[in-house]
C-alpha cells in the first residue's frame, strides 16, 4: 500500500546522493541499500519461524486488548470515495485547539513517521525557528502504526498516516481536528487539498507527499516502449523476460495491476469475480515469468537485476544513485499513463489528540506546506509534495531529477484523473488479500 512499507530504521537517503557522484563510479554500497529497505517487510529478526510467529502474535495481542475496551466504537464507518466526499465528525471531547496560542517553548516535538521519509535538515530548521528539539520514531507499516496508537501508550505529536487509515484514526479519537488559523500555508498546496474527498473541509489533515504507481524498465534490455504499447499494464506478461520481471510486493498494488491489465480501473472493487480474475492474471504472470515480488524497484532496475518492475514514482526518481557501473541513468524509464488514468496516492500529516505540543505540531504542518521547505524535503526523499510551483521542470532545473525521469513527478491533472486505492469493507478486503496470497503461492 505504501512506498515506505518495510523500510528499516537505519535507512539513509536515496536521493541525497543524486548527482553527488558521477555515473562512472561504482554504485553505492548495495548491501547498505538493501538492508535499509524492503526485504524483511515487517521487522527484522531471527530466521526462526517461531520467532516470526511470536512477533506477529504479540502485536496482535496489543490490537485485541483495545478491541474489547473500545467496544463503544461505531458499527460502520464511512468509506471516502472521490464521488462520496466524507466530512468526518468532530466530537465534543476532541475539539481543535484554541486560536492565538504561543508555541510551546523548549519542547521536544515527537514525530511518528515512515522510515527515511522526511528530510531532517528541514526539521532542524524548523526547530531553530521555534526553539524546540525533535525526536523521530518510525513505523514499517500502517498496521504497526495503528496498533501502537490503539494501545494509547504513546506521546507523539505528529503522525503521517495514509488515507485509508483515517476512519479508524478519527473514530478512535486518535487524531485531533486542525485549527486552520495556524496553517495559512495550506494555500501553497494545490487547491484540491482544502476540501479533499477523504476529509471534507480539511478538518483533520494536511497533505504530505504524492506519488503514482507505474512501470519502470531498462531501455537497454527491453526494446518495447510502454508509451507506444496498447496496454502497458500488460508489460510484465512477457515470457522472454523470464526471471527479469518483478511486481510490487503489496496486495493492493498487485491485484490492482491485475485489474488494470484486465481494463478495470475501479481499484476499490468489491466484485468477487473481478478480484479473482485479477488474481488469476497474476498467477499466469508467475508461471510465465517466475515473477519476483519485492519493493526493491529503486535498486533492482538501476542495478540491472530486474528489467521490468512495477514501481513507485518516488523510488524510480532516485535511480541515479543506484546505477550499474558504466550505465547511464537515462537507460531507466518510468511509465505512468500520460492521461493520468492510473494509481495515485497521497500521504497526510496529522496532529495527535494526545499531543503534548499541539501548537508546535500545527506550526510543523504549516512549515512543511512551504514551497522552499518542500523542495528541500524532496531533495532527500524523492517524493514530491503537492505544492504549487513544484513542477517537473523546476526539479530538473535544480538538478534534483534527471530529465529522462520527469515522468516520476505527479501533475495536478494526474491527481485529479488518477485512481486511488482506498479503504475497503473488511469482507471485500479479505477477497483482495486471499487473491493476492493465491497469486504469490502460485
Partner 1 sequence: MALLAPRGRARRPGEPHRLFWAALAAPGILWLAVLFIVPFYVILAIAGGYVNQIFGYPVAVYNPLHWSSANFTAAWHDMFGVGATVLPIAGRTLSYVAIASLISLVIAYPAAYFVARFAGRRKGLFLVLLIAPFWVSYMMRMLAWIGLLQTDGYVDKALTSVLGIQPINWLGGLSITVILGLVYGYIPYLILVLYAGLDRIDPALIEAGRDLGLGRIRTFVRVTLPLSRQPILTGMLITVLPMLGDYFTNQLLSGAAGTRMIGNVIDDQLNAPGQQGQGAVFSLLVLLVLVAPMIYYVVATNRTSRSAS
Q: Provide the binding-site residues for partner 1, judged by CB under 8 A.
A: 30-31, 34-35, 39-42, 44, 47-50, 52-54, 56-58, 60-61, 63-64, 67, 73-77, 141, 143, 146-147, 167-168, 242-244, 246, 249, 251, 286-287, 290-294, 303-305, 324-325, 426-427, 429-430, 433-434, 436-438, 440-442
Report helix, strand or coil for 343.
strand
Q: Which is closer to partner 1, CB of 64 or CB of 101? A: 64
The nearest distance, CB 433 to partner 1, in angstroms, is 4
Q: Which is closer to partner 1, CB of 292 or CB of 353? A: 292
Residue 242 CA to residue 72 CA, distance in Å, equals 52
Q: How many Å from the N-terminal Cα to the C-terminal Cα in the chain? A: 21
Q: Which is closer to partner 1, CB of 34 or CB of 154? A: 34
The nearest distance, CB 422 to partner 1, in angstroms, is 14
The nearest distance, CB 345 to partner 1, in angstroms, is 17
- Grid cell listed for 379: 531533495
Q: Which is closer to partner 1, CB of 289 or CB of 373? A: 289
Query: CB neighbours of 211 closer than 8 A, spacing ≥ 6?
Result: 3, 312, 313, 314, 344, 345, 346, 383, 384, 410
The nearest distance, CB 174 to partner 1, in angstroms, is 12
Q: Which is closer to partner 1, CB of 131 or CB of 290? A: 290
The nearest distance, CB 268 to partner 1, in angstroms, is 14
The nearest distance, CB 395 to partner 1, in angstroms, is 30
Residue with cell 499513463: 337
- Grid cell listed for 79: 468509506
User: Distances in Å between the alpha carbon of 394 and those of 97, 213, 371, 377, 398?
Assistant: 37, 22, 12, 14, 6
Buried b (16+ CB within 10 A) or exposed e, 61-100: eeeeebeeeeeeeeeebbbbeeeeebebeeeeeeebbeee
Q: Which is closer to partner 1, CB of 241 or CB of 336? A: 241
The nearest distance, CB 47 to partner 1, in angstroms, is 5
Report helix, strand or coil for 402.
coil
Q: Which is closer to partner 1, CB of 131 or CB of 151? A: 151
Query: CB neighbours of 420 closer than 8 A, spacing ≥ 6?
Result: 82, 163, 267, 268, 343, 344, 345
Alpha carbons within 13 A on the beta-carbon side of 108:
7
Taking CA 422 as the corner, what is the angle to CA 405 and CA 139, rounded to the nearest 5 degrees? 75
The nearest distance, CB 150 to partner 1, in angstroms, is 8
Residue 274 CA to residue 269 CA, distance in Å, equals 8
The nearest distance, CB 197 to partner 1, in angstroms, is 21
Residue 201 CA to residue 185 CA, distance in Å, equals 15
Query: CB neighbours of 69 closer than 8 A, spacing ≥ 6?
Result: none
Q: Which is closer to partner 1, CB of 42 or CB of 219? A: 42
Q: Which is closer to partner 1, CB of 63 or CB of 396? A: 63
Amino acid at each position: 500500500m505504501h512506498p515506505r512499507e518495510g523500510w528499516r530504521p537505519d535507512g539513509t537517503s536515496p536521493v541525497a546522493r543524486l548527482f553527488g557522484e558521477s555515473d562512472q563510479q561504482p554504485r553505492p554500497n548495495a548491501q547498505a541499500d538493501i538492508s535499509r529497505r524492503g526485504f524483511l517487510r515487517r521487522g527484522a529478526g531471527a530466521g526462526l519461524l517461531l520467532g516470526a510467529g511470536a512477533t506477529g502474535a504479540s502485536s496482535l495481542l496489543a490490537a485485541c486488548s483495545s478491541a474489547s475496551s473500545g467496544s463503544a466504537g461505531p458499527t460502520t464507518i464511512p468509506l471516502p470515495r472521490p464521488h462520496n466526499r466524507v466530512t468526518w465528525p468532530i466530537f465534543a471531547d476532541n475539539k481543535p485547539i484554541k486560536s492565538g496560542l504561543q508555541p510551546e517553548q523548549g519542547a521536544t516535538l515527537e514525530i511518528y513517521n515512515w522510515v527515511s521519509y522526511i528530510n531532517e535538515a528541514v526539521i532542524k530548521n524548523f526547530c531553530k525557528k521555534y526553539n524546540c528539539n525533535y525526536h523521530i520514531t518510525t513505523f514499517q507499516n500502517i498496521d504497526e502504526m495503528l496498533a501502537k496508537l490503539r494501545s494509547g501508550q504513546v506521546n507523539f505529536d505528529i503522525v503521517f498516516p495514509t488515507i485509508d487509515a483515517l476512519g479508524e484514526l478519527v473514530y478512535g479519537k486518535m487524531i485531533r481536528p486542525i485549527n486552520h488559523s495556524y496553517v495559512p500555508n495550506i494555500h501553497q498546496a494545490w487547491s484540491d487539498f482544502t476540501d479533499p474527498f477523504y476529509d471534507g473541509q480539511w478538518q483533520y489533515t494536511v497533505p504530505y507527499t504524492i506519488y503514482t504507481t507505474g512501470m519502470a524498465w531498462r531501455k537497454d534490455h527491453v526494446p518495447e516502449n510502454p508509451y507506444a504499447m496498447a496496454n502497458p499494464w500488460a508489460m510484465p506478461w512477457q515470457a522472454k523476460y523470464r526471471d527479469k520481471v518483478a511486481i510490487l510486493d503489496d496486495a493492493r498494488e498487485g491485484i490492482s495491476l491485475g485489474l488494470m491489465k484486465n481494463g478495470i480501473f475501479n481499484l476499490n472493487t468489491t466484485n468477487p469475480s473481478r478480484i479473482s480474475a485479477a488474481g488469476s492474471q497474476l498467477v499466469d504472470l508467475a508461471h510465465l515469468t517466475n515473477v519476483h515480488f519485492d519493493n526493491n524497484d529503486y535498486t533492482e532496475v538501476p542495478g540491472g537485476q530486474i528489467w521490468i518492475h512495477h514501481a513507485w514514482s518516488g523510488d524510480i526518481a532516485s535511480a541515479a544513485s543506484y546505477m550499474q557501473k558504466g550505465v547511464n541513468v537515462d537507460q531507466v524509464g518510468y511509465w505512468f499513463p500520460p492521461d493520468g488514468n492510473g494509481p495515485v496516492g497521497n500521504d497526510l500529516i496529522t496532529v495527535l489528540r494526545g499531543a503534548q505540543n499541539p501548537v508546535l505540531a500545527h506550526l510543523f504542518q504549516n512549515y512543511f506546506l512551504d514551497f522552499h521547505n518542500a523542495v528541500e524535503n524532496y531533495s532527500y526523499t524523492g517524493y514530491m509534495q503537492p505544492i504549487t510551483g513544484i513542477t517537473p521542470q523546476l526539479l530538473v532545473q535544480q538538478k534534483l531529477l534527471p530529465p529522462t525521469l520527469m515522468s516520476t513527478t505527479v501533475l495536478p491533472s494526474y491527481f485529479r484523473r488518477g485512481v486511488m486505492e482506498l479503504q475497503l469493507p473488511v469482507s471485500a478486503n479479505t477477497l483482495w488479500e486471499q487473491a493476492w496470497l493465491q497469486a504469490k503461492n502460485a
